[in-house]
Amino acid sequence: MATYTLQINGRRYEADVEADTPLLWVLRDHLGLVGTKYGCGIAQCGACTVHMNGNAVRSCVFPVSAIGTAPITTIEGLSEKGDHPVQQAWEEVDVPQCGYCQAGQMMTASALLSKNPNPSEEEIVSAMNGNICRCGTYHRIREAVALAATKTK
Amino acid sequence: MSTLSKPSRRNFVKLAATAGGGLFLGFSWTGSVASALEVVSDKALASGTLDFNSYLALSPDGIVTILSPNPELGQNIKTSFPMIVAEELDADWTKVKVVQAPLDTTKFERQVTGGSGAVPHSWERLRKAGATARQMLVEAAAKRWKVPASSLKTENGMVLNPKNGKKLSYGDLATAAAKLPVPTDVKLKDPKDFKLIGTAVRNVDNHEILTGKPLYGLDFYREGMLFAVIQRPEAFGMKLKSVDAAAAKAMPGIVDVVTFKNNVAVVGKSTWQVNKARKALKISYTPDAALESSADHDRIFKELLDSPEATVRRKDGDVEAAFKSAAKVVKSEYQCPFLSHSPMEPMNFFAHVRPDGVELVGPTQTPEMARGQVAKLLDIAPEKITVELTRLGGGFGRRLSADYVLEAAELSSLIKAPVKVIWTREDDMTGGTYRPAVRYRFEAALDAKGNMIGYKLRGVGMNAGNPTREDNFPSGAVDNLLIDSVDHKSPITTGPWRAPITNFLAFAEQSFLDEVAHAAGKDPVAFRLELLAKAKKEPVGEVKYDIDRMKGVIDLAVEKSGWGRKKDIAQGFSVYFSHRSYVAQVGEVAMQDNQPVVKKIYAAADCGMVINLSGAYQQVRGGIVDGLGHAMYSNLTFKNGAPEQNNFNGYRLIRMKEVPEVDVHFVNNGIDPTGLGEPALPPTGGAVANAIFKATGKRLYDQPFAEQQGLKTV
Ligand code: FES
Ligand code: FES
């Protein structure tokens, strides 16, 4: 066990965990940030996606000891009031069905838009293809990413 | 519009009565009459001793609060139920709140999610509750203004007097209305006057979902709670022989390792620690039943198809004679694999067994059954067990089984501590209660004119019960028909999977009918319409589907898809009645690089009146994506009793790239709602396979298509 200091959502957190603990479980079990979801644990579904240095990463396979000082954003910190363009678009398009995958979907989408504010349909699909939605809300996700892009401009 | 995620009756009272006073209506969900309504005091309500099974509250600040009893798993019930109440009440939708109720069997009936049945069940009751409250508010306003109630109107949370333009808000009238007698005979709206029902209303939980609030069972946390994972036998048919847990117990964060039944539970302080320690367990198992492999299943299926001992499900006319006299016979077999439900949120449950009672918290589609089974297991009166419902991260039928609730309860009682049992994805996928593998053999006899004069179906399955739906179309339209089935008892556990049985049967039936139509030289749609006309004119035996509704969706799908009028794309047709509703689909396939590619799917659905257009639209699109994905890609195979896939790397779910365009249309016939959580899924496989046949001349008999045929979508 060791103490790790993490920069999450603009705040400092400390976690006393084993070095190989994935960021996902540090967030969920130790810091009470349960918006980041567990879906597969092997980087296959995207439910656990967070931003690290602004990039979308799979927190289920990212050991806490490898984070260092990299700033992390989770769904709880995507915006202060829940009004990030992606969140607005998700609400307007009424994307969630069960909703479980959506935090990961939005973190992937927001990382895409921060790098590429004007993605083509194909770029949207290829960025989002790593995120599984078992409820099949893919049409709405695609629509919401495109809508969020218009809001980002 | 907002909701509370922490369910409780007290919260309900608090929310509803924040400003003091107000109108509380208790109404009945149980029994066949929807009328028993009564005004109740907030004190009586808080005491929790009332007989009512649902409540509608209107507080003096105008907030309408509705207690919603059904588990929410994405079917959007938490939005559609209140819409029905708000419609009849003429409430201001922005002031409607929904509170998830805990399990309470003395008060609720059918607190279950499954079978697409919630809306049909509650439609009348909810409308009546809203209409009753509305009438009381109108009467309160009439008294205050000293005018006849019949001269007043309601709109958007207000009572209006059209003569002088005066208005009173519901909030202002709530406390006065509560003193009036409850009318017993209220008039419901004419559906053509609906303003909210039939419109697109967003999910009431969106804000919580989109900001990452704790909503799901896996998010539940209680101070002092322990975490556990359970090692179950790796193969069906194995039982536990011995456990060496010394190394696991010595690992950091581990509190205990407990063995019960065939389970070895590792209990500790965090998810990661218990998962790591679990890998250090040394367990040996010994077989106590057959260790079946998929190759065994294939062989067993062939035997059962020829078995002389089948259960006859339906018999009309003289099938043997019909086949003897046939000009042409068509015969085919179709097979599907086991499937895992794989909801995105894996199984999990929290249990705290104390000497004085049991607390259960988590995602279940059947809280009442779970409680009953826990009561039996622990030998505790059900009244001493509380079940709190969290939002469900999908269910697809998996959470209709209570196995994971029982495990949590048993473990908590053994360790005498509050514990949450978490299933890893691997546990979830290899832990059983699958969609059963099934094989069908169809035979059709055609006369010289291409009329289907005989029809035979044998269904054989692995713990599938009756894998046929003997009264489905084309039963009733064929003079000589025999439907029977044989079941194999396998150690591999099975259970209902979204659109049980029909999720594959529909594909097989609709593909076979396509084959027969082609053999008869008829257009597949015309062929079906001929059969329907026959069922209408000269029904054979009982006809248990609505011929006109089925024809209605066929006509709409034909119109919207331009059936038979497209030159550059191959179309396939499918229509199915299941789980109370009717859906027709047309799949479109184009050839790209000599490969058939699914481009588009049209759907025409008749689920009666659509309540929430946004939710309904997504139920159909989601159902089609689900149907297509599993028909194309998913496959759970077995080797010596053990599943060969254990996560999404080996077990393939459909992804965004593979999703074609979907075009959804609803038949608007004004009849009462008949449900939509499942019916859009069954027809998809057939629509797609029939289009692929049209494009390539190749019939698909086995699912998943992609693995066996190297097919692609989009
Ligand atoms: S949980 Fe991390 S990718 Fe699935
Ligand atoms: S909304 Fe249920 S998994 Fe995506």
DSSP sequence for B242-309: EEE-HHHHTSTTEEEEEEETTEEEEEESSHHHHHHHHTT-EEEEEE-S----HHHHHHHHHHHHT-S-
Name which of A34, A91, A125 is nearest B210 (Cβ-Cβ): A91
The residue whose CB lies within 8 Å of the most ligand 2 atoms, and thus the one to mutate among A133, A138, A139, A140, is A133
Percentage of residues of chain B with pLDDT beyond 70: 89
Quick check: B345 and A37 CB within 8 A? yes
- Could you tell me if A134 lies within 8 Å of chain B, comparing CB atoms? yes
Quick check: B626 and A136 CB within 8 A? yes
pLDDT (0 to 100) of residue B57: 86
Distance CA A52, CA A70 (A): 6
Mean pLDDT of B433-451: 97
Percentage of residues of chain B with pLDDT beyond 90: 76
Distance CA B711, CA B660 (A): 14
CA of B392 to the centre of ligand 2 (A): 10
Amino acid type, B290: A
Coil, helix or strand at residue B455:
strand
The answer to whether B590 touches B571, Cβ cutoff 8 Å, is no
DSSP A29: I
Distance CA B453, CA B306 (A): 23
Mean pLDDT of B531-540: 97
Distance CA B227, CA B544 (A): 49
pLDDT at residue B714 tops 60: no
Domain boundaries, chain A: 2-77, 85-151
Distance CA B631, CA B625 (A): 10
Q: What residues contact B124, with CB distance under 8 A and at least 6 apart?
A: B34
pLDDT at residue B30 tops 90: no
Mean pLDDT of B39-61: 74
Mutate to test the interface with A, among B201, B213, B272 (most CBs of A within 10 A): B272
pTM for this predicted structure: 0.92
Closest-CA residue of chain A to B647: A40
Mean pLDDT of B383-399: 92
The answer to whether B686 touches B510, Cβ cutoff 8 Å, is yes
What band does B713 get if pLDDT is binned at 50, 70 and 90?
low
Ligand 2 proximity of A133 Cβ (cutoff 6 Å): yes
DSSP B25: E
pLDDT at residue B121 tops 70: no
In the structure encoding, which two tokens stand for residue B440, read together? 């069908």
Residue-wise pLDDT tens digits, A59-68: 999 999 999 9
Mean pLDDT of B413-426: 98
Q: Which fold has domain A85-151?
A: DNA polymerase; domain 1 (1.10.150)
Closest-CA residue of chain A to B363: A98
DSSP B205: T
pLDDT (0 to 100) of residue B2: 38
* Residue closest to A132 by CA, chosen among B634, B210, B347, B503: B634
What band does B579 get if pLDDT is binned at 50, 70 and 90?
confident
pLDDT (0 to 100) of residue B6: 44
Q: What residues contact A116, with CB distance under 8 A and at least 6 apart?
A: A123
pLDDT (0 to 100) of residue B53: 64
Residues paired with B389 in a beta bridge: B362
Quick check: B212 and A139 CB within 8 A? no
Please tell me whether the peptide bond between B436 and the residue prior to it is cis, using omega within 30 degrees of 0.
no
Mean pLDDT of B677-705: 95
The answer to whether B404 touches B437, Cβ cutoff 8 Å, is no
Ligand 1 proximity of A58 Cβ (cutoff 6 Å): yes
Quick check: B622 and A135 CB within 8 A? yes
pLDDT (0 to 100) of residue B38: 76
Quick check: B214 and A139 CB within 8 A? no
pLDDT at residue B115 tops 50: no
CA triple B506-B510-B511, angle to 5 deg: 115
What band does B13 get if pLDDT is binned at 50, 70 and 90?
low
pLDDT at residue B654 tops 80: yes
Q: Is the model more confident about B675 or about B575?
A: B575
pLDDT (0 to 100) of residue B5: 40
pLDDT at residue B455 tops 80: yes
Distance CA B149, CA B161 (A): 10
Closest-CA residue of chain A to B426: A40
Q: Lowest-pLDDT range, B16-30, B181-195, B379-393?
A: B16-30
Mutate to test the interface with B, among A1, A61, A80, A134 (most CBs of B within 10 A): A134
Mean pLDDT of B620-645: 97
Domains of chain B: 14-202 (3.30.365.10), 217-288+347-422 (3.30.365.10), 310-338+434-707 (3.30.365.10)
Within 86-115 of A, beta carbons closer than 8 Å to B belong to 87, 90-91, 94, 96-103, 106
pLDDT at residue B338 tops 80: yes
Mean pLDDT of B462-466: 97
The answer to whether B30 touches B54, Cβ cutoff 8 Å, is no
Ligand 2 proximity of A115 Cβ (cutoff 6 Å): no
Report the nearest-CA residue for atom 3 of ligand 1: A43
pLDDT (0 to 100) of residue B106: 52
Name which of A37, A44, A136 is nearest B625 (Cβ-Cβ): A136
The answer to whether B253 touches B229, Cβ cutoff 8 Å, is no
The answer to whether B508 touches B701, Cβ cutoff 8 Å, is no
The answer to whether B596 touches B589, Cβ cutoff 8 Å, is yes
pLDDT (0 to 100) of residue B122: 75
Coil, helix or strand at residue B93:
helix
CATH classification number, A2-77, choose in 3.10.530.10, 3.40.50.300, 3.40.50.1010, 3.10.20.30 = 3.10.20.30
Residue-wise pLDDT tens digits, B278-303: 999 999 999 999 999 999 999 999 99
Residue-wise pLDDT tens digits, A36-55: 999 999 999 999 999 999 99
The number of C-alpha atoms within 13 Å of B705 and in the hemisphere containing its C-beta is 29
Using only C-alpha atoms, chain A has a radius of gyration, in whole angstroms, of 15
pLDDT (0 to 100) of residue B12: 65
pLDDT at residue B102 tops 90: no
Pairing of strands B348-354, B419-422: antiparallel
pLDDT (0 to 100) of residue B424: 98
CA triple B145-B149-B154, angle to 5 deg: 90
Question: How far is CA B479 from each of CA B56, B455, B523, rounded to the nearest angstrom?
Answer: 52, 8, 21
What band does B668 get if pLDDT is binned at 50, 70 and 90?
confident
Question: How far is CA B264 from each of CA B65, B252, B282, B284, B388, rounded to the nearest angstrom?
Answer: 45, 18, 10, 11, 26
In the structure encoding, which two tokens stand for residue B631, read together? 């028909």
Q: How far is CA A8 from the centre of its chain?
A: 13
Percentage of residues of chain A with pLDDT beyond 70: 99
What band does B68 get if pLDDT is binned at 50, 70 and 90?
confident
- Could you tell me if A57 lies within 8 Å of chain B, comparing CB atoms? no
Residue-wise pLDDT tens digits, B196-243: 999 999 988 899 999 999 999 999 999 999 999 999 999 999 999 999
pLDDT (0 to 100) of residue B4: 38
Q: Lowest-pLDDT range, A81-95, B118-132, B402-416?
A: B118-132
pLDDT (0 to 100) of residue B9: 60
The chain-wide mean pLDDT, for chain A, equals 97
Amino acid type, B639: K
Distance CA A96, CA A37 (A): 14
Q: Is the model more confident about B55 or about B196?
A: B196
pLDDT (0 to 100) of residue B74: 55
Closest-CA residue of chain B to A101: B344
Mean pLDDT of B677-700: 96
Smallest-distance ligand from the CA of A43: 1
Name which of B216, B252, B622 is nearest A100 (Cβ-Cβ): B216
In the structure encoding, which two tokens stand for residue B3, read together? 């909701």
List CB contacts (< 8 A) between B272 and chain A. Answer: 17-18, 20-22, 25, 29
pLDDT (0 to 100) of residue B148: 96
Residue-wise pLDDT tens digits, B249-284: 999 999 999 999 999 999 999 999 999 999 999 999
The answer to whether B271 touches B259, Cβ cutoff 8 Å, is no
The chain-wide mean pLDDT, for chain B, equals 91
* Residue closest to B246 by CA, chosen among B266, B272, B271: B266
Residues paired with B231 in a beta bridge: B264
Name which of B202, B205, B344 is nearest A47 (Cβ-Cβ): B344
pLDDT (0 to 100) of residue B118: 61
pLDDT (0 to 100) of residue B27: 75
pLDDT at residue B371 tops 50: yes
Q: How many helices (H) and strands (E) does chain B have?
A: 19, 30
CA of A95 to the centre of ligand 2 (A): 9
Smallest-distance ligand from the CA of A39: 1
* Residue closest to A75 by CA, chosen among A112, A49, A44: A49
pLDDT (0 to 100) of residue B34: 47
pLDDT at residue A126 tops 90: yes
Mean pLDDT of B566-574: 96
pLDDT at residue B28 tops 80: no
Residues paired with B603 in a beta bridge: B585, B664
Mean pLDDT of A16-28: 97
pLDDT at residue B7 tops 60: no
Closest-CA residue of chain B to A121: B657
CA triple B29-B31-B37, angle to 5 deg: 50
Ligand 2 proximity of A96 Cβ (cutoff 6 Å): yes
pLDDT (0 to 100) of residue B686: 98
CA of A137 to the centre of ligand 2 (A): 7
CA of B404 to the centre of ligand 1 (A): 22
Mind giving me the DSSP string for B29-43?
-SSS----EEE--HH
Q: How many CB pairs under 8 A join A and B?
A: 173
What band does B710 get if pLDDT is binned at 50, 70 and 90?
low
pLDDT (0 to 100) of residue A96: 95
Please tell me whether the peptide bond between B704 and the residue prior to it is cis, using omega within 30 degrees of 0.
yes
Q: Lowest-pLDDT range, B43-57, B58-72, B232-246, B509-523?
A: B43-57
Q: How many helices (H) and strands (E) does chain A have?
A: 5, 5
pLDDT (0 to 100) of residue B328: 97
